[in-house]
Structure 1
Amino acid sequence: MSVWSQSWLIWCGVVVVGLPVLSIFLAEVETNLERRRSSMTRPLHVFRTYVLPLAALVVLLAVIPDDIVANDSNWFKIAATGLGLLLLNFAISSLNTALFVNADRGSWRKKLPSIFIDIARIIIIAIGLAILFSWVWGADVGGIFTALGVTSIVIGLALQTAIGSIVAGLLLLFEQPFTLGDWLDAGGVKGRVVEVNWRAVHIQTDAGLQIVPNSSLAGASFTNLSRPNATVTETIESAFAKEDSPAVVMATLQGVADAIPGQLPGSRPDVSFVGAGRFTTSFTLGTFAAAGEARAQFQLRLWYAARRANIALDGADIWKDESADDVLDLLRQAASRLHIKPEQLDELAPRLDLERFAPGEIIDQIGRVPGTVRWIADGQARVTIPYGRAGTISPLTLSRGDLTGLTALTKQPSAYTCVAATELTVLTVPAEVLDELARHNVRLSRDIGQDIDRRGQQLTAAVENADRQLTTSSTSPSSPPATAGIVRR
């Protein structure tokens, strides 16, 4: 009989020729995948490097005659076992890469909790090992599966409450009604989600870190305060003296609420008079995270606005820290800047006022004609103008001795917005008083006109400088933008 008629020699030839050809082909595919940065590169590398050579060895051991290597020898079984383990690892790695690594954001594959994947991986490994030991080593795995089934039933009945809670939590994770960073209101626990695992959700509240079991969340209703397009309505109650005019109080509350940052675009605060000196202010915020800061800013700014409007917030004595003598003292300090003669001080003081502003409060609004000129006695104010798309630039800072609301004399709209950078104390000069002073003193009119021109030139120069810096940064991609004073909103 011819040597070439032996079937095992044919298989040997197939292995000798096929293994190098297939290895070269898979190497090219792997190089192509690596060039495309594909996640399948590593599983394919494992298959080409380990699975393919071992598979060739198993084929050779299976087909060569028994007088050379017996098919039931330990060498064959060891090689077949190694091949089975490598194939199992390759299958699990490939399925994980294909199903979950490249999953689209928001799809069920991306939402699936990792513990479900681990359980599925354990099941696949158990089934694969059972098949492998049954086929290679001839083990009777039926009895093992029967024993495991009975044991699992007993354990399940004994721990059904605990296991039920875990499963409920896992189903909650699979649905993912919230993610890290969301704000939840769950059974009186209100805070931000900082950690989520298979057993519990960690919520950071004002009182500390609260750990809420997933089963509790799954069995009760809760509110996700951070869902897209969700809005939060913040309502604050304020009390004033019963003698204060409701119209004045409501106008003050409305002005403060309108300037609170973080409100939903297009919404407007609502102010209501409850009665007996009590008022409510409601405004709609875009996110729950802004509620605390908005409430704090409202309360802070209302204190200053109430004193400026001469209304008693919470029954406070609005004249406790200031008097007519304080106004006269500030007027003496500002006399040279406003060109006021000493004999005019006592006459003008009752017509002027001392005002304080909280940090962040708007003093002069761009596009509006100021009703007063303010001489800064203490603190700093920031001059801002619109720049670019939804941005502002703050090129100037005003401090003690500077004037705000310069165009009150010329009856022109303000070219910029003036915002208090720190707590600000100012001497307020009404426009009609300023007109009288300017009619009797040409130098005051000239100085204010020069201040308006100088400030306009400074703003123009600041915009041109910002344009140059943005142009420079855009032509140098590796350099970060160097424009100072620009705030994107």
Structure 2
Amino acid sequence: MRNLFPDSNAAWAALVIVLLPLLIIGAGELEERLRQRDSKFQATVSTIRIWVVPLLTLWILARALLDIDEGNFFLRVEASALVLAMAVTGLSAFRVVVERLADRPRRTGRRPIPRLLLALPRLLLILVALWLLIAGVWRVDLSAALTALGVTSLVISLALQDTLSGIASGFTLLADQPFAAGDWIESDEIEGRVIDVNWRATRVQDRNGDLVVIPNGQLATATITNFDRPTRLHRVMVPVQIERTATPTAAKEMLLDAARSTPGVVAEPAPYVWVTQIADPVVDYQAYMFIEDYTLAPRVKADFGSLVWYLSYRHDVPLPNPAQDLYLFDGAKTAIEARTTSADIRRCLVAAPLMAELDDDVLDQLASSASLTRFERGETIIVEGEQSDLLLLHEGRARLSVRQDGSDDLDVLDFDAGEVFGVMDEAPEMDGAALVVAMTDCDVVTIPPAAAGRVISEAPDLAAVLEQIAATRRRRIHRVLRHHERDAAAATETATEDGDDS
């Protein structure tokens, strides 16, 4: 084997004779396969087959076989062509890779890579090719050029410091990535979707469809709000004023219905409403809704406002009148008119079936001593042992429950308008307390014990009915407690058996 190629030139010749056909044939086959697959790398392989391989072969023949000096002009031209062909090949392959990376958001849904980062490898490849041509092929001493370049760079830096600052800020933004192309951002009263981030500026398309170019130096020192990160979920707040005559419960229900019916509002997290200020003659509310696309925020606010106008009539929740009227306010007269009178309470008593059959004198006595009170939904109206009044539910709905320590309330029965409740002197012995809670906004007539006792003594039929009602409710409470105790005992027994089995 040592004497197979006694002459090194023969070895190079054999290598060229064998390797060159193999490279050309292999590149041709690879190009055909890529063409059949419609691959974009076909152009890169074609450049290698047509230019890189022949030029590399000529350079090897000239240097190894013909022993031509490196300083030969024609050899330097041929080497320059080889370097340029290799650079074009690299740029062609890199262009395909960049196109795939740029198309990645559409294919995978991932965030796009900034174009400035994709341009850096291409710039580096061009600089390396130029260095090989100038310093490697043509043997040009770059030390003096680099020195001159350093002085020139200093002068240019002083003259273009604002521009260079923008470039540095662009690299800072790309490294920190507070936003990417496609994100909706706001900065210094500029709001829009990011179109592109380059080495000097960021281009944003605002809601008007106009293109706004923001220098990166300005963005680097500004406060940026990104509405797409960390999630696309965004809260929309809409202030609403409603007349004070509407109850907060009714107003909140109306606003929540409008929020849930607004297109673009998500179900989870659910909308909610706060009372922010109680003024005269309006109450200020704030409705909060959540959307998954910030671009819909103006439309959601507009649609919500339209629905509030329509629903205010359906829910009988009046909105403020925008007309400018002049009122002469009489505080004393207004207070007297707003006060509940005995006649109002008498009408409430007459509306109850249990009280409607009482004599007029008895009704007048009750009306003169009773009072009308409003309770909000969820508010406790009465707790056993804390109050001895007789209560009449005029409007709304309430629920009688038994509250026990360490467990949920036990629901006993519901009260509708016209029913009475209150004193339960013969309530059963139990751990906890019986209480009545408003299920909706309730208007309750409160009759003091003295007045109730006086009326009951004068109306024995009413006393018998009230006693029958109290007895029925006591039995109901007994039955609910027995069922609860039985269920608790069964649950304890089951848990004990499971523990023994384990």
- Give the structure-1-normalised TM-score: 0.55
Q: What amino acid is aligned across from residue 193 of structure 1 in structure 2?
A: V
Render the CA deviation track for 1:148-197: whole Å, top value 9, x for unaligned: 23322332244333202222123313543323442212133233334544
Paired position in structure 2 for 1:59: 60
Q: Larger C-alpha radius of gyration, 1 or 2? A: 2
Where does residue 261 of structure 2 map in the other structure? 259
Is 1:289 the equivalent of 2:295? yes
Q: Distance in 2 between matches of 1:72 and 1:197?
A: 43
In structure 2, the partner of 1:237 is 239
Distance in 1 between residues matched to 2:194 and 2:86, nearest whole Å: 41
Offset from partner CA, 1:59-118 (integer Å, 9 cap, x none) = 22224447xx776443222212211221233244445656884689589x9865433444
Cα distance in 1 for partners of 2:269, 2:63 equals: 79
Matched, 1:313 2:319: yes
Please give the secondary structure, in 2, of the residue aligned with 1:227. coil
In 1, the alpha carbon distance for the partners of 2:268 and 2:114 equals 39
* Compared CA separation, residues 236 and 103, structure 1 to 2 (3 A): closer
| Structure 1 residue 204: Cα displacement | 0.2
- Give me the whole-angstrom Cα distance separating, in 1, the residues matched to 2:126 and 2:253: 72
Match of 1:15 in 2: 16
Deviation, structure 1 residue 27: 2.1
In 1, Cα distance between equivalents of 2:28 and 2:237: 67
State the 1:245 CA deviation.
3.8
Shift of residue 53, structure 1, vs aligned partner: 0.8
* TM-score, normalised with respect to structure 2: 0.54
- CA 1:155 to 1:120, structure 2 compared with 1: closer, same or farther past 3 Å? farther
**Alpha-carbon separation, structure 1, partners of 2:162 and 2:125:** 27
Q: CA RMSD in A?
A: 3.4
CA positional deviation for 1:297: 0.9
Note closer, same or farther for the CA distance 1:195–1:316 as it changes in structure 2 (3 Å cut): same
- Partner Cα separation in structure 2 for residue 156 and residue 92 of structure 1: 30
Matched, 1:191 2:197: no
Q: Structure 1 CA distance, aligned partners of 2:300 and 2:129?
A: 59
Change in Cα spacing, 1:310 to 1:316, as seen in structure 2 (3 Å) is farther
Paired residues of 1:256 and 1:302 also in contact (CA < 8 A) = yes
Matching residue of 1:269: 271
Q: Is the 8 A contact 1:112 1:174 kept in 2?
A: no
Residues 17, 308 of structure 1: alpha-carbon distance in 2 compared, 3 angstrom cutoff: same
Change in CA separation of 1:7 and 1:224 when aligned onto 2, cut-off 3 Å: same
Match 2:250 to one of 248, 251, 261: 248
CA offsets 1:311-333 (integer angstroms, 9 cap, x no match): 4322269xxxxxxxxxxxxxxxx
Match of 2:426 in 1: none
Aligned to 1:436: none
Contact 2:202–2:213 (8 Å) recurs in 1 = yes
Instruction: Decide whether aligned partners of structure 1 residues 11 and 35 sit closer, same or farther in structure 2, where only a CA change above 3 A counts.
Output: same
Secondary structure class of the residue paired with 1:240? strand
Alignment of 1:62-141 (within 5 A): 62-65=63-66, 72-94=71-93, 97=96, 101=100, 105=104, 113-141=114-142
| Amino acid corresponding to residue 313 of structure 1 in structure 2 | L
Structure 1 residues 123-165: Cα deviation after superposition (integer angstroms, max 9, x where no partner): 4433433333334333223322232233223322443332022
- Aligned partners of 2:196 and 2:204 also within 8 Å: yes
Amino acid at match of 1:74: F
Q: Equivalences for 1:168-187 in 2 at 5 Å?
A: 168-187=169-188
Tell me if structure 1 keeps the 8 A contact 2:167–2:216: yes
Offset, 1:39 = 4.6
Point out the more displaced range, 11-20 or 298-307. Answer: 11-20
Contact 2:259 2:265 in 1 (8 A): no
- Residues 79, 137 of structure 2: 8 Å contact kept: yes
Amino acid at match of 2:51: Y
User: What does residue 42 of structure 2 align with?
Assistant: 41
Amino acid at match of 2:171: L
Q: Distance in 2 between matches of 1:312 and 1:119?
A: 63
Cα 1:132/1:110, change in 2 over 3 Å: farther
CA distance in structure 1 between the aligned counterparts of 2:30 and 2:91, rounded to whole angstroms:
20
Q: How many residues align?
A: 311
- Distance in 2, matches of 1:245 and 1:74, equals 97
For residues 242 and 282 of structure 1, the distance between their equivalents in structure 2, rounded to whole angstroms, comes to: 21
Aligned-partner Cα distance in 2 for 1:72–1:191: 59
Q: Distance in 1 between matches of 2:250 and 2:267?
A: 26
Match of 1:460 in 2: none
Whether contact under 8 Å (1:172, 1:218) holds in the other structure is yes
The 8 Å contact of residues 194 and 204 in structure 1, kept in 2 or not, is answered as: no
1:303 is the counterpart of 2:309: yes
| Cα gap change, 1:72 to 1:286, in 2 (>3 Å) | closer
Deviations 1:230-283, CA, capped at 9 Å, x for gaps: 422222222233333444333322222221222233332222333132222222
Superposition map of 1:148-159 within 5 A: 148-159=149-160
Q: Which residue does 2:443 correspond to in 1?
A: none
Tell me how far apart the structure 2 counterparts of residues 54 and 191 of structure 1 sit (CA, whole Å).
52
Distance 1:110 1:78 in 2: 45
> Residue 183 of structure 1 contacts residue 190 of structure 1 at CA under 8 Å; is this kept in 2?
yes
List alignment gaps of at least 5 residues for structure 2.
324-502
What are the ranges of 5 or more consecutive residues in structure 1 without an aligned counterpart? 318-489
**Aligned partners of 1:272 and 1:281 also within 8 Å:** yes
How far residue 24 of structure 1 moved from its aligned partner, in angstroms, is 0.8
Between the aligned partners of 2:138 and 2:74, the Cα distance in structure 1 is 12
Contact 1:195 1:203 in 2 (8 A): no
Query: What is the identity percentage for the equivalent residue pairs of Structure 1 and Structure 2?
Result: 29
Whole-angstrom CA distance in 2 between matches of 1:246 and 1:53: 87
The CA deviation at 1:16 is 3.0
